[in-house]
Amino acid sequence: AAGYAEAAGLLAAARAERARTTLETGEVAALALAVARRVVLDCRALDRDLVARRAAAVARERFLGPVVVRVAPADAELVRRCLVETPAGPVTVREDPELRDGTCVLEGDGGEIRLDDDEMLQRVGRALAGGPEVER
């Protein structure tokens, strides 16, 4: 009986330690995500060409033909200037008021690719929290 009581006490202590460690890990994950979010926002604020350069890189690397790029209205003119065509064909830029600033969607023979910092940060947050990873 004494052995069972001792084992139950050890098990309770182990569970308490696991809960404390999990909480600390969650706090570290939240802090890391907050830092990542700040870095992403600062990069976008300091580098107005970032959205256009990312779209151009993806268009060149993932598509073999014409590409349609949907962007937030605030980013449309800059993307139009920076992304006229790819080596494989022309690029059409369309304003999409449903998209947040800094977000774009590329469509063509390579399928649909969404470049969305908020979505990426949500995936990072879930991964840090030990949640299920979302398909890219």
Q: Residues 38-86: pLDDT tens digits?
A: 887 787 777 778 888 888 888 888 888 899 999 999 999 989 888 877 7
Output the pTM of the full model. Answer: 0.65
Work out the angle at residue 123's Cα, subtended by the Cα atoms of residues 64 and 17, and round it to the nearest 5 degrees: 150
Q: Do 21 and 74 belong to one domain?
A: no
H/E stretch holding 86: strand 85-86
Structure tokens at 4: 């069972």
Number of structural domains (the chain) is 2
Q: Which domain holds residue 100?
A: 48-116
Structure tokens at 9: 């006490």
Residue 136 located in a structural domain: no
Provide the pLDDT for residue 107. 96
Q: Percentage of the chain with pLDDT > 90?
A: 21
Rounded to whole angstroms, how far apart are CA atoms 108 and 68?
A: 6
More confidently predicted of 117 and 114: 114
